[in-house]
Structure 1
Amino acid sequence: MRNLSLTLQKIIPEGVLTLERRYEILRAISYFQPVGRRILANHLGISERIIRNETDFLKQNVYIKVTSLGMEITQEGHNILQELEGLIYDLRGLTELEKQLSKILNIDKVVVVPGDTDKNEMVKKDIGKAAARIFRDIIKPGNTIAITGGTTVAQMINSFQPLNNNYEDVFVLPARGSIGNKVEYQSNTLASQLAYKLGADYKLLNIPDHLSKKSLESISKEPEIKDTLQKVSNTDILIFGIGNALKMAKRRGLLEPVIDFLRRKEAVAEAFGYYFNLEGEIVYNSRSVGIQLDEIKNISYMIAVAGGSSKAEAIMAVEHLLKKGCIVMDEGAANEIIRYKRNK
């Protein structure tokens, strides 16, 4: 397949560009359907004229259909998308990029999806879809699963389709207490959604951020909370997102003096309430209840997700946490990491 990709790029470079463009358009229609041409053009950053020409081709070949509500993908369109996925991977050189990153970051498994989330939010859906496939392959009866919040993790839950619904002995838990005001992205919400899809049991941690140390200690001693925290500490699979330190600090509502402290300490990454500098050192730990850093080394498998070239430093800051597991990122983050390591 790789040799075929190289040959295509040499003999019909303009054909490869057309192939990639039609793939991106068909993929976008599958995500946003029913969708009109103008909205599609805005999502992809392509002129309406090009969108019109390409969608006319897709319609003529019955890959899409046009309704009063907009364009929708057909079953034939779904089939061609799946068939093209591997070819697009090779055309972009993503398999080789994954191997390079696995070696550079010293992580067993790295998965790279096409695109850059910073430029196209649709790419986040592909990160979620790839992470969902990995999770489906590793989950076993009797597993305890802890999950953090966040938009990319939410995409993984949305994409996840279990092979069967026979995971009654699986337990799903939030990796930490709630975050911010958007309930749909909180770890409690995502834990319950994943449990529903699995037909599994779950428990919640309804504890807000920024409680006083005394209040946290008191709540943690409550029998129900104590039992949940004990289960979290015995997690088999941890699913978490990697955030930009300052963005996450603001989202969590940290006070300005704390945010200024993070700037001075050159914090670049956040994961489950811990803030790291580029060397992977903890520079701050927000007061929260949930999984602790010293418990992570006992977890059998971790799945991390992150997208966008702006997340490159954050990924590098937490690479030491992923010795037993994998990370799913996009092309933008992957290329930025490669550039940084080469120029170091």
Structure 2
Amino acid sequence: MDRLFTIIQRFAPESLEIMETRYRLLRQILHHQPVGRRQLGKELGLSERMVRSEMELLRSRGAVYFTAAGIYLTAYGEELLSDIDELIPYIFGIQTLAERIKQMFNLTEVIIVPGDSQDDYLAKRDLGRAAARFLKRNLYLGCTVAVTGGSTLAEMVTAFGDGINARDVLVVPARGGLGEEMEQQAGVIAARIAGAIGAQYRLLHIPDNLEESTVEILKNDVHIKTVVQAIKNSDILLHGIGSAMEMANRRGLASEEIDYLQEKRAIGEALRYYFDKKGKIVYEVPGIGLEFPDLQNIGIIAAVAGGKNKADAIKAVLSHQHESVLITDEGAARKIIEENNGKDDG
């Protein structure tokens, strides 16, 4: 694939420019429909004439349709956009970033979407779409999927589309947690993903930041035990990554806990574990669900996180070397590689 796009770049670079323009138009319509030509031109920096010409062409091919309210994608247009998503790293020239990060952290797969979700909320939506495509591709009969909470994984839910019937799949939250915003809680995301793909789900209604003694009591409850066992037997895990201090404050950790994290120079957080820059776990918030020893039995572990502001957190978590897949954006990928190059130079 790399060689093919290298040849196209040398022989007919204008074809890649056309593909990029049409991808950006379809993507913009997907996230803003119904949308007018003028708004499309303004958002993408394209002339009204070019937008009009491209829209007529895309309509003639059945990818969009016009209404008095604005332009919409057709089902075929959504399918077309989903298909071209696989080629975007090559069209935008970011596949080499994926290969370098894959080697850096010994990962089996790295998926990178264009843009930087720190500054561009559409890039965060694209991360959700990429995570949804990845999950659809890896689902199999009888598998159990565990997911964490967070805004990026919440974006997955609307990205699945129709035509999926995974009634033999079970979706569960990776750990208990009722402390985040409702739509970003792991249980809510698990239930919504299950609804989107026609799967079954089980929930773990347990709040964050429990006392360790309370956790041990709850672990003995027969109903909780059943759900926890399903979680620990997960086959696929999709989890977010957060910056350590941001997550500590969001979860309401006590001031002495935050002081301890600062003393230990915690950088990243995942699954209630806090990591320093070398990937060492420096703190764990008591909770019920997946524990790190359980991860060695999970076949696919995918981290989903983006934004250059999270580059250090992503590096810290990946350095622990439990993940097999990273789904991220161009902003984070470039920052990770830039900092790694600086380290090599030093």
| TM-score, normalization by structure 1 | 0.86
One-letter identity of the residue aligned with 1:57:
S
Alignment of 1:120 with 2:120, yes or no, is yes
Matches within 5 A, 1:190-229: 190-229=189-228
Displacement after TM superposition at 1:281 (Å): 1.1
Displacement after TM superposition at 1:6 (Å): 4.6
Displacement after TM superposition at 1:52 (Å): 3.8
Displacement after TM superposition at 1:22 (Å): 4.6
Matches within 5 A, 1:41-52: 44=43, 46=44, 50=46, 52=48
Matches within 5 A, 1:125-144: 125-144=125-144
Aligned residue number for residue 25 of structure 1: 25
Aligned residue number for residue 165 of structure 2: 165
Matches within 5 A, 1:1-344: 2=2, 5-6=5-6, 20-36=20-36, 44=43, 46=44, 50=46, 52-61=48-57, 62=59, 64-74=64-74, 77-78=77-78, 81=81, 84-85=84-85, 88-161=88-161, 164-168=164-168, 170-321=169-320, 323=322, 325-344=324-343
Displacement after TM superposition at 1:5 (Å): 4.5
Displacement after TM superposition at 1:326 (Å): 1.1
- The range that moved more, 285-294 or 64-73, is 64-73
Question: Where does the alignment leave 5 or more consecutive residues of structure 1 unmatched?
Answer: none
Q: SS state of the match for residue 297, structure 2? A: coil
Distance 1:196 1:23 in 2: 28
Q: Matched residue pairs, number? A: 339
Displacement after TM superposition at 1:92 (Å): 2.2
Distance 2:229 2:128 in 1: 28
Change (3 A) 1:9 1:152: same
1:138-159 CA distance string (max 9 Å, x none): 2222222211111111222332
CA contact (8 A) 2:232 2:294 kept: yes
Q: SS state of the match for residue 145, structure 2? A: strand
One-letter identity of the residue aligned with 1:271:
A
Displacement after TM superposition at 1:264 (Å): 3.2
Displacement after TM superposition at 1:278 (Å): 1.0
Distance 2:109 2:19 in 1: 28
What percent identity do the matched residue pairs reach?
A: 37
Change (3 A) 1:86 1:176: closer
Question: Where does the alignment leave 5 or more consecutive residues of structure 2 unmatched?
Answer: none
Q: SS state of the match for residue 318, structure 1? A: helix
Distance 2:260 2:4 in 1: 52
Superposition RMSD in Å: 2.9
CA contact (8 A) 2:267 2:312 kept: yes
1:196-246 CA distance string (max 9 Å, x none): 334333221111112222222222221111221122222211111111112
- The range that moved more, 119-128 or 270-279, is 119-128
Q: SS state of the match for residue 146, structure 1? A: strand
1:66-120 CA distance string (max 9 Å, x none): 5343332346754664565455432322222222111111111111111111121
Change (3 A) 1:3 1:66: same
| TM-score, normalization by structure 2 | 0.85
